[in-house]
Amino acid sequence: MTWTKTEYAGWGRALSAKGEVTRPERADMIAALAADGAAPAMGMRRSYGDAALNSEGRMIDMTRLDRLLSFDPKTGILEVEAGARIGDIAETFAPRGWLPAVMPGTGFATIGGCIGQDVHGKNHHHQGSFGQHVTEITLLQKGKELRVKPGSALFKATVGGLGQTGVILRAKIRMIPCKGDLVFVTERRACNWEEHLTLLDASEATYTVGWIDATATGPELGRGIVEEGESGAGLVKKRGKASKVPLDAPHFALAKPIVKAFNWAYFHRVPARGRTVVKALGDFFFPLDKIHDWNRLYGKRGFYQFQCVVPLGAAPALRQMLQEIAGSGLASPLAVLKRMGPGRGGYLSFPMEGYTLAIDFPNRPEARALIKRLEAMTSEAGGRLYFAKDGLATGAQIRAMYPDLPKWQREVKKADPDGALVTDLVRRLNLRTA
């Protein structure tokens, strides 16, 4: 295999790495990787921080191993290679009446990444996390292929396990029926925090998500738009070719007055009485994918995303976090609030029943200090942080948030005793040390 010295970054672009990367073109080339020694795998690097980075080490780029291998329409079981992208699967199968059971906010996420982070979507309150719909994982572990089934400790260590139990080669996932490749979306204004939570709690729609104006203060704190979606069939203008951001945006592009003005306009685009619109599949599930390289809008220094989940009873603590964010003047227009159910697939899976808040901040000293405060508030509220978005947390905080960490560590030690699969995130958080 050819290893090329490369500099690469997470999606947030605030954290980067230099190291050797190889990109196998065919599945039969995987055996050669074992001869070169174990190395962690990465996909499209849609994790925002350092989960897919390995400074001064090696990484295996799995993006060329993206074939759809088999599909059983009787059971809805699809077998795919790890580099297959969730958006491509949805686009291929939705016209046939099938969708991946769980989809994250970007269609560029690979199946291997969806498993390694145990991603969640706009239907977590109904379908749980991605790993709960995986029926088999094929790992490359210690130079050999190993099939892993649900219920085993190794499966629980692999789902949400950050790639530390082996390289995911293939997986079988359970698809769910859908009515077509359209989504009927009902949009309603939430005028403040209490109304926002009320709408989320009362929603019985298949897919539910809230955009929240993280700049609003006072009686309008927490205002936003709640979207409820149902799959459907019919005619609608298909998604056009994605646009590109040609250069890094200047520092002032996300200045407080600009963000406040954008958020005001975005909130008022929905009539006070609400409305129902029809959207193409990708426009609902992966709205930001319409702009390739949208991360450049934060400038060359990049950005960090803060995402936490807190228990239902800790909603007042989440409100306090939002007050802190709104008062800082550092928020971007990208802020999401969702109600989550209890489902999770692995020892280190992020979801818990409660509310999750995700928000981007430009990479500035005052924003990093704010995120530190928000992380402490999350810990005090009995919540947890999302590895796919984290770039600043400390190991001490994480250990309290993930009580199943010792179980994960035992399986990882057996799977990778020499630490060949350790990545920058795992090192930063000392996840593999007792």
In 3D, which of 106, 11, 111 has the Cα closest to residue 52? 11
C-alpha–C-alpha distance, residues 111 and 157, integer Å: 16
* pLDDT at res. 417: 96
Q: Can you give the pLDDT at residue 330?
A: 94
User: What does the pLDDT read at residue 239?
Assistant: 64
Please answer whether residues 385 and 8 qualify as being in contact, where contact means their C-beta atoms are separated by less than 8 angstroms.
no
pLDDT for the residue numbered 29:
85
Q: What is the pLDDT of residue 240?
A: 67
Q: Which residues pair with 141 in a beta bridge?
A: 144
pLDDT given for residue 39 in this prediction: 94
pLDDT one-digit tens code per residue, 55-104: 999 999 999 999 999 999 999 999 999 999 999 999 999 999 999 999 99
- Output the six-digit token pair for 126: 């109904």
Listed in sequence order, the residues at least 6 apart from 55 whose beta carbon sits closer than 8 Å to its beta carbon are 17, 18, 19, 424
- 152: Cβ contacts below 8 Å, ≥ 6 apart: none
Q: How many Å apart are CA 247 and CA 201, to the nearest integer?
A: 41
Identify the bridge partners of residue 61 per DSSP, sorted by sequence position: 42
pTM of the model: 0.96
Return the pLDDT at 36.
Answer: 73
CA pair distance 51, 48, nearest whole angstrom: 8
SS3 label, residue 201: helix
236-255 pLDDT tens trace? 666 667 788 888 888 778 88
What domains can you pick out in the chain, each with its CATH number?
4-61 (no CATH), 68-179 (3.30.465.10), 182-394 (3.40.462.10)
pLDDT of residue 252: 75
Rounded to 10 degrees, what is the CA torsion of 275, 278, 280, 283?
Answer: 0
Residues 6+ apart with CB under 8 A from 405: 347, 348, 398, 399, 431
What gap in Å lies between CA 185 and CA 228, rounded to an integer?
A: 5
Residues with Cβ within 8 Å of 268's Cβ and at least 6 positions away in sequence, in order, are: none
> What parts of the chain have a pLDDT lower than 70?
236-240
Residue 119: its pLDDT value, please?
98
What are the φ and ψ backbone dihedral angles of 288, each rounded to 5 degrees?
A: -75, -15
pLDDT at position 74 is 97
Query: Could you tell me which residues are beta bridge partners of residue 72?
Result: 77
Pairing relationship of beta strands 98-100 and 134-141 according to DSSP bridges = unpaired
What tokens appear for 267 in the block?
Answer: 């909130």
Distance of CA 136 to the CA centre of its chain: 21
pLDDT attached to residue 237 = 64
What distance separates the 2 farthest-apart alpha carbons in the chain?
A: 63
Kindly provide the b/e burial profile for residues 105-130, where b requires at least 16 CB atoms within 10 angstroms of the residue's own CB: bbbbbbbbbbbbbbbbbbbbbbbbbb
In the numeric block, which tokens belong to residue 352?
């818990």
Whether 101 and 93 have beta carbons less than 8 Å apart is answered as no
Angle ∠(310,313,317) on CA atoms, nearest 5: 60
Distance between CA atoms of residues 66 and 46, nearest Å = 16
Buried b / exposed e over 384-394, threshold 16 CB at 10 Å, is bbbbbbbbbbe
